[in-house]
Structure 1
Amino acid sequence: MVFLTLREFTTWLDVTLFELWIHFLGIIISSILLCLKVHSILHISYFWVASPMFIGIGFVYYFIFIIYLRSCVEYKDYRAPTFK
């Protein structure tokens, strides 16, 4: 069985280690909430169970937007970062 290294994984998916941690934490928290909901310890909707993953995706999109704005301001070119 072949395992990917962290460098290969981040290159293959084109994500950073920070983004991987955000998604990992969202999945772990959602899994814990799902277990608590299934065993009737917490009485919450499935929207609240999945919300940590949605929040993680929102953070990643926010950081990507900040990087996009910084590249536009740094290069003073508003078309080039869009097409890269």
Structure 2
Amino acid sequence: MPHWLSYTSYSLYFDAADMTEDDTEFLLAIAAFQKRFGRRYPTWLEILYIARCLGYRKVADAVPIEQPLPAKGGESAGRAGVVGSTT
């Protein structure tokens, strides 16, 4: 198996990377996990583990994906992960 040059496929300095501090913290935590454990592609359970290590907890009831809330704070629908939104 060939050795990769980088564990991550994103750049914090990409021109269109208008990431928040939370976005940056999460991406750096993923990169640190990848490097520490030699995992190029973490599983979804590993990503959930990383999010919990960052302090994320479920604090509200689940919302069906078919009924997403409108984006808040001027975020675009794509940025909020809303697919097929007409807002």
**Does TM-score exceed 0.5, indicating one fold?**
no
- Using CA pairs under 8 Å that are at least 6 residues apart, name the structure with larger relative contact order, 1 or 2: 1
TM-score (norm 1): 0.34
Larger Rg: 1
| TM-score normalized with structure 2 length | 0.33
Relative to total residues, which structure has the larger helix share, 1 or 2?
1
